[in-house]
Amino acid sequence: MTIGTIVCVDDQAEVRRLLADVFRGRGGSVVSFDDGEDAITWLATNDADLAVLDLDLGPGRRSGIEICRAIRARLPDLPIIILTGHGTIDDAVAAVKAGAVDFITKDPYLEDKLEISVEKVERILQHALDRKRLEEENRELRATNERLRKAAGRRWQIVGDSPAMRQVMTKIEKVAPVPRPVLVLGPRGTGKELVARAVHTLSPRASEPYITINCAAVAESLLESELFGHEEGAFTGATKQKEGKFELADGGTLFLDEIGNMSLEFQAKILRVLEYQRFERVAGSLSIQVNVRVIAATNLDLKQAMIDGKFRPDLYDRLAFEVINLPSLAQRMQDVPVLAAHFLARFRQEVAGISVKEISADALDRFASYDYPGNVRELKNIVERAVYMAQGEVLTAADVDAALPPEAAQTSAAALPFADDVRLPLPERVDAFEAWLCKDALERTRYKQKEAAALLGLSYDQFRQRYRKYGLGKD
C-alpha cells in the first residue's frame, strides 16, 4: 500500500519543501498550501490519501487542530498527521482528540519521524482497504445466499465464510448460467450435493427439472436403463416403456452423483451423451435429442483413477469445464461456528419444543476440538444430537461432549473440580461438586435463578442459599 496524494499545510516554505521531498521520494504526489482554509477548499473537490497539517499556521489563522476537525467532519476516513514546532503533551492530546492519527515535532529528526509515521498511516490505510474488500465479499456472499434462499428455501443455503468457501461460492455464481458440465469434488459429507443444487438453482434452468441419480447405488446393468430409459420388452421385467433420467431432465439439470466407479465402457456412453446430447433407449432404435446440463460429483481422487486407468481422461476433460473442489471441514475449521449456528437454527425450525436457543463459547470450543472425518454431515449430526439431548437454553460444553464420539469428548469428570483430588476431605469435594452443578444450571438458564433452581429440583430459597454460599454471581 503506497500513499498516492498527500496534502501538506504549513506556513513555512522550507517545511513544505521538506515534506514534498519526503513524500515524492516515496512515490506520492504532493499538493502544498500555506493556509488551512485553502486546503479545505481543495479537498472539497479533490481526493487525497493523507493530510499533514502544521499546528500553528500563523497569527490570525485557524490552528491545525481546528483545520483537522473541519476536515474530519467531512472526510472521516482521511488520515491526518499533525506537525508542531514545540510539542507539548496538551497539544498532542488535542491533536488525537481532533482525530489525528499521529503527532510529530519538527526537530532535526523530522524526516525520520515522518517516515515512521507514514508507514503507520500506510498500515492503517491497508487495513481499511482489507476491511472494505472483506465487507464487499461478505455482501456478495450474503446476496448469493439470499438468492438461494428465495429461490429454493433455506434447505439449499450454503454456509461458511472461510476463504475456501468464498471461492466455492464465487465459482458457483460464475458457472451457474453457463450451460456446460460442472465437476464437484471433495471428501464425503463436504456439501457436494448442496453445491450441485445451488448451481442449478442459480442457473436460468432453475424452474426446469432437477434430476439426481446416485450412480453407485444402481447396478450397472440397471444404470443404463435408469439413465436412458428402455422400450417395452427390453429385458425380463420391462413390461412397459420407461423414460430415463436424461429424458426427465430435458431442459434442466441432471446430477450424476458418485460417478467414480462406473466401468470404462459406461463412461464412454456418458461421454457420448454429453457431447451429442443424443442417445437411444435400451432396446430402442429412436435417437432421442435432449438439452441437459450435467453436474457430476465424486469423492474419489479422479486424477489417481485416471493414472490407474479407471477413469477416462476424455470424460474427465468434458466434465471438468469447471471443477469445484470442496475442502474437508478440518481444512476450514473457521466455518465450524457458523455451521453449528446454522444447523441449530434449522433444527429449531424443523422440530418444535427445542429448548436450546444459543451455543455457549465453551461449547463452540468443544466443537472446534474435533476433526470431523465425516465433515459437515458429521458436524450437523453432532450439533443436532447435542441440541436434542440438552436441557437448558444455552448449549454447554458438556452437552457437546455428550454428542461427540466418545474418544473425542472430554470426560466430564475431568471438567469437575477436585473430582480426582483424593487428598481433599469428602465434604470439600462434595461442596465443589455442588457448586459446579449450580453454576452449570445457571449457565444453562442464562443466569435465571428461578429456572436454575427448577432445573436442579430445588426450591428458590434452597437455590439462593447455595448461590450465596458459593458466590455464584456472574464474574
Ligand X SMILES: Nc1ncnc2c1ncn2[C@@H]1O[C@H](COP(=O)(O)OP(=O)(O)OP(=O)(O)O)[C@@H](O)[C@H]1O
Q: Per rule CB under 6 A, is residue 68 in the interface with ligand X? A: no
Specify the stretch interacting with ligand X by CB under 6 A; choose among 110-118, 130-138, 158-166, 306-314: 158-166
Q: Per rule CB under 6 A, is residue 186 in the interface with ligand X? A: yes
Query: What is the nearest approach in angstroms of ligand X to the Cβ of residue 164?
Result: 10
Query: What is the nearest approach in angstroms of Mg ion to the Cβ of residue 343?
Result: 17
Of 80 and 227, which has the nearer Cβ to Mg ion?
A: 227
Please list every residue from 329 through 388 that binds ligand X, using CB under 6 A: 339, 342, 376-377, 380
Please list every residue from 392 through 421 that binds ligand X, using CB under 6 A: none
Of 317 and 350, which has the nearer Cβ to ligand X?
A: 350
Q: Which residue is nearest to ligand X (CB)?
A: 191
Query: What is the nearest approach in angstroms of Mg ion to the Cβ of residue 376?
Result: 11
SS (H, E, C) the chain: CCCCEEEEECCCHHHHHHHHHHHHHCCCEEEEECCHHHHHHHHHHCCCCEEEEECCCCCCCCCHHHHHHHHHHHCCCCCEEEEECCCCHHHHHHHHHCCCCEEEECCCCHHHHHHHHHHHHHHHHHHHHHHHHHHHHHHHHHHHHHHHHHHHCHHHCCCCCCHHHHHHHHHHHHHCCCCCCEEEECCCCCCHHHHHHHHHHCCCCCCCCEEEEEHHHCCHHHHHHHHHEECCCCCCCCCCCEECHHHHCCCCEEEEECHHHCCHHHHHHHHHHHHHCEEECECCCCEEECCCEEEEEECCCHHHHHHCCCCCHHHHHHHCCEEEECCCHHHHHHHHHHHHHHHHHHHHHHCCCCCCCEECHHHHHHHCCCCCCCHHHHHHHHHHHHHHHCCCCEECHHHHHHHCCCCCCCCHHHHCCCCCCCCCCHHHHHHHHHHHHHHHHHHHCCCCHHHHHHHHCCCHHHHHHHHHHHCCCCC
Count how many Cα atoms sit within 13 Å of the Cα of residue 229 in the half-sphere of its side chain: 21
Q: Per rule CB under 6 A, is residue 159 in the interface with ligand X? A: yes
Query: What is the nearest approach in angstroms of Mg ion to the Cβ of residue 158?
Result: 14
Query: What is the nearest approach in angstroms of ligand X to the Cβ of residue 234?
Result: 30
Of 36 and 160, which has the nearer Cβ to ligand X?
A: 160
Of 212 and 410, which has the nearer Cβ to Mg ion?
A: 212
Of 78 and 159, which has the nearer Cβ to ligand X?
A: 159
Write out the residues near Mg ion by the rule CB under 5 A: 192-193
Binding site partner of 16, from ligand X, Mg ion, none, Cβ cut-off 5-8 A by kind: none
Of 67 and 159, which has the nearer Cβ to ligand X?
A: 159
Q: Per rule CB under 6 A, is residue 173 in the interface with ligand X? A: no
Of 69 and 385, which has the nearer Cβ to ligand X?
A: 385
Of 216 and 416, which has the nearer Cβ to Mg ion?
A: 216
Q: Per rule CB under 6 A, is residue 191 in the interface with ligand X? A: yes
Q: Among 192, 205, 439, 466, indicate the residue that binds ligand X (CB under 6 A).
A: 192
Please list every residue from 298 through 337 that binds ligand X, using CB under 6 A: 299
Q: Among 63, 190, 253, 360, indicate the residue that binds ligand X (CB under 6 A).
A: 190
Q: Residues touching ligand X: how many (CB under 6 A)?
A: 17
Query: What is the nearest approach in angstroms of ligand X to the Cβ of residue 228?
Result: 23
Interface positions with ligand X (CB under 6 A) = 158-160, 186, 188-194, 299, 339, 342, 376-377, 380
